[in-house]
Structure 1
Amino acid sequence: MRLRALITALVVAFGSGPLSAQETVNPGTGAVLRVLDKLNAKVSDVTLANGQSAQQGLIEIVLGECRYPVGNPAGDAYAFITIREAGIAQPVYRGWMVASSPALNPLDHSRYDVWVMRCTTS
């Protein structure tokens, strides 16, 4: 009885069509990241190519790669980034950030916030 109710709820929630586990994505040529210095309230947009790095205040940001859903480079872009503090080899952040959900995997830093805005394309 419970199994039947669960199956019915899933069919109603997701429809009767097939579910796609993966979305088709395109690689971007780079990404636009927004950096907030919480100490002086300065906001900067940084445009990086894949594999490029930039120094913003006391942190270094390295963009590994940016991907986006086919036909929507601004909407649900996500980027693999590494962030290090100056003079420290261990990253304070290394992972994927999603433009549409920056709180999903946020940078936890006392002074800086960094989030993905969109991918760049050629």
Structure 2
Amino acid sequence: MKGTSNASWALVLLLWLVSISGAWGQEVSPSQCQDEIRRGIGVCMAVVMGQPPSAACCARVRATHAECVCPLVTPEVAAMIDVDRVKKLAEGCGRNIPPHFKCGSITIP
């Protein structure tokens, strides 16, 4: 079950990385955040299995607000993530990640 948890956190980070451009400053309720993350994990699970993000996954991550995901990026989560891989996946969805962007416990190189 620990692998499933790690996979979920990897998807949460993917959602965060793809959503960072232009998503700050909008009012988002806690229930909306939970829904966005749940939906993202649902449509992006294949990414954990090594597949590239699908069109549906990319669409979902573009709709996810950074405010929902950044608080979840703890040191424990950061230790489970290959940030370079996630950055490449995010760029594959059409999002550029600004250099030295910091969110939670991760700073993008």
TM-score range, shorter chain: under 0.3
TM-score, structure 2 length as denominator? 0.27
TM-score, structure 1 length as denominator? 0.26
Larger radius of gyration: 1
Q: Which has the higher strand share?
A: 1
